[in-house]
């Protein structure tokens, strides 16, 4: 595997379900990000982890819970979501030093909340 | 705060021709980077080209080049010899030194016509 991978690619869940999105980066980066992309809206940054520490949380509802167990893996735990949470969730990684701030994205998870 | 403006929601170009996508930005930072990302129908966000603000020379990547006008805060993307595979949503993106957050423009949907 190369680059940034995300699983699952598609997820349908009910409002009472609990599920998790997984992101893995194979680039040796030290920072990882979760973004939400809804139709007709700009890309929204949700969370940032740098060196496995959460450094950014952009007023995201508590029904979204991130976890970064190591620098290669990032999870987004979902519970009691709402239909308006249906969106494409993108993970990205970057090397957060030395001028290399370019973010590389995974293919995304298309989430549908019924 | 940073803002990125793309004033062309949609554009089309004939295969093998050249097209230019416009972008203006605003930032109070002295250290910043600018990017063009593309998002084809697969929804994967792909880095096209990157420009460091401190470099006067315009970045080029094969058929892709930028016209970076720092004083005018303009950052346009030129695609030469357009190919059908270039059909995608193109996002102009900025990153400033004081934050890890990328700021995305609203995007330009480019269609390459056979």
Q: Chain B partners of A94 at a C-beta cutoff of 8 Å?
A: 100
Q: Is B36 on the interface with A (CB under 8 A)?
A: no
Pairing of strands A73-79, A18-25: antiparallel
d(CA A61, CA A106): 23
Q: Is A92 on the interface with B (CB under 8 A)?
A: yes
For B57-96, how does the pLDDT look when each residue is reduced to its tens digit (9 = 90+)? 999 999 999 999 999 999 999 999 999 999 999 999 998 7
Q: Chain A partners of B52 at a C-beta cutoff of 8 Å?
A: 99
Q: Residue B23: CB partners within 8 Å, gap ≥ 6? A: B4, B5, B6, B36, B74, B75, B76, B77, B92, B105
CB contact under 8 A, B44 and A43: no
For B7-36, how does the pLDDT look when each residue is reduced to its tens digit (9 = 90+)? 999 999 999 999 999 999 998 888 889 999
d(CA B112, CA A32): 33
CA distance A83 to chain B (A): 21
CB contact under 8 A, A50 and B100: yes
- Residue A100: the pLDDT is 57
Q: What is the mean pLDDT of chain B?
A: 93
Helix (H, G, I), strand (E, B) or coil at B70: coil
d(CA B44, CA B26): 27
Q: Chain A partners of B33 at a C-beta cutoff of 8 Å?
A: 101-102
CA distance B99 to chain A (A): 10
For residues A101 and A94, the answer to whether their CB atoms sit within 8 Å is yes
- Residue A21: the pLDDT is 98
Low-confidence ranges of chain A (pLDDT < 50): none
Mean pLDDT over residues B90-104, rounded?
83
Q: Chain B residue with minimal CA distance to A37?
A: B43
């Amino acid at each position: 595997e190369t680059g940034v991978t995300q699983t699952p690619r598609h997820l349908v869940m009910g409002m009472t379900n609990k599920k998790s999105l997984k992101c893995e980066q194979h680039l040796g980066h030290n920072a990882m990000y979760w973004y939400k992309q809804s139709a007709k809206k700009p890309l929204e940054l949700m969370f940032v982890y740098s060196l496995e520490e959460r450094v950014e949380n952009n007023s995201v509802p508590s029904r979204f819970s991130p976890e970064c167990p190591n620098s290669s893996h990032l999870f987004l735990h979902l519970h009691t979501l709402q239909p308006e949470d249906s969106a494409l969730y993108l993970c990205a990684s970057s090397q957060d030093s030395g001028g290399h701030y370019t973010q590389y994205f995974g293919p995304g998870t298309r989430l549908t909340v019924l | 705060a940073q803002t990125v403006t793309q004033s062309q929601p949609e554009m089309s170009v004939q295969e093998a021709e050249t097209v230019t996508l416009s972008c203006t930005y605003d930032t109070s930072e002295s250290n910043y980077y600018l990017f063009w990302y593309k998002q084809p129908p697969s929804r994967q966000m792909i880095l096209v080209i990157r420009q460091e603000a401190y470099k006067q020379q315009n970045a080029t990547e094969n058929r892709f080049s930028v016209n970076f006008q720092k004083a005018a805060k303009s950052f346009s993307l030129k695609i030469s010899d357009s190919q059908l595979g270039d059909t995608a949503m193109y996002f102009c993106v900025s990153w400033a030194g004081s934050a890890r957050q990328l700021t995305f423009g609203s995007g330009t949907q480019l269609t390459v016509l056979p």
